[in-house]
Amino acid sequence: MRVLVVDDEPALRESLRRGLVAGGWAVDTAGDGEAGLAMAADEEYDVVVLDIMMPRRNGYEVVREMRRREIWTPVLVLTAKDGEYDEADAFDLGADDYLVKPFSFVVLEARLRALVRRGAPERPAVFEAGDLVVDPAAREVRRGDTRITVTSREYAVLEYLIRNRNQVVSKTQIMRSVWDSAYDGDDNIVEVYVGYLRRKIDTPFKARSIETVRGQGYRLVDSTAG
C-alpha cells in the first residue's frame, strides 16, 4: 500500500515515514502543500495524509484542488486544529477522515487501513447540473459566472435536489432532509421553497432546472441559461 504524507514539520514527517514503513507501507513525503498537490496529481497513492497549516498551499486548498481535478484518492487530515468548524470545513472540501494532533499512531494506521479498504469512490467537491453549480464548502450557488444569493433554507433544498440530480424526490424526502423533526407544518412548504428557487436559479436565466413530476415530487436536471 502506498501513502503520501504531506506535512511541513520535518521531525513529524520523518517519524510518520519510519512508522509506516515499519508497518509495510510504501511512503512518499512532501514538506509543503504545493509539492504535495503535485505528487498527488502525478503519482498513484492508496491514501494521503495531509496537514492543514503548511506553506505555499494549506491543506484545505490541497484537498479542494485534488477534488476539482477529480483526484479521488482518500485523504486523512492530520492537524493540530481541533475546532469543530475546522473539521467540518475539511469534510466539506472532500477529506475522508480527520485526526487531531497529538494522536495515537496505532489509531492513525488503523484509520489509513480503513480508508484503503473503502477505496476511492468518485465524490465531487462541487455539484453541477448544466451550468448550475452548488459549492457546499463555500455554500455558494452560481449559474455560469453569475453568483446567486439564496437563503440558508433555499440553499438546503437546492443542495438536496442537486445531490440527487436526475432522480425524483418527494416532498417528504426533502422535508426529512431539510426541516428538523420539530417542524409540524404542511409539506406544501416544500412547494413554496421550490418556487423561490425557480425564481432565482431558473427564471432570470431562461433555464428549467427543477421539474415537477406530478404526484411524485421534484427532479433537478441539467439546464443551461438560454
β 132-135/140-143 pair status: antiparallel
| Tens-digit pLDDT profile for residues 97-153 | 998 988 889 999 999 999 988 876 666 668 899 999 998 777 789 999 999 999 888
The C-alpha cell that represents 167 in the structure block:
432522480
Interior CA angle at 44 toward 38 and 49, to 5°? 70
Grid cell digits, residue 158 = 437546492
- Closest alpha carbon to 204 in 132, 128, 127: 132
pTM for the predicted model, two decimal places: 0.63
**pLDDT surpasses 80 at 167:** yes
- The per-residue pLDDT of the chain, averaged, comes to 89
Q: How far is CA 137 from CA 59, 87, 204, in A?
A: 14, 12, 25
Does residue 173 register a pLDDT over 70? yes
Taking residue 155's Cβ as centre, other Cβ atoms within 10 Å add up to 19
Percent of the chain with pLDDT over 90: 52
How far apart (Å, rounded) are the C-alpha atoms in residues 189 and 156?
13
CA distance 65 to 62: 5
The answer to whether residues 217 and 167 touch, using CB atoms and an 8 Å cutoff, is no
- pLDDT per residue over 22-61, tens digit each? 888 889 999 999 999 999 999 889 899 999 999 888 999 9
Cα–Cα distance measured from residue 38 to residue 13, given in angstroms and rounded to the nearest whole number: 18
Residue 156 in contact with residue 178, Cβ under 8 Å? yes
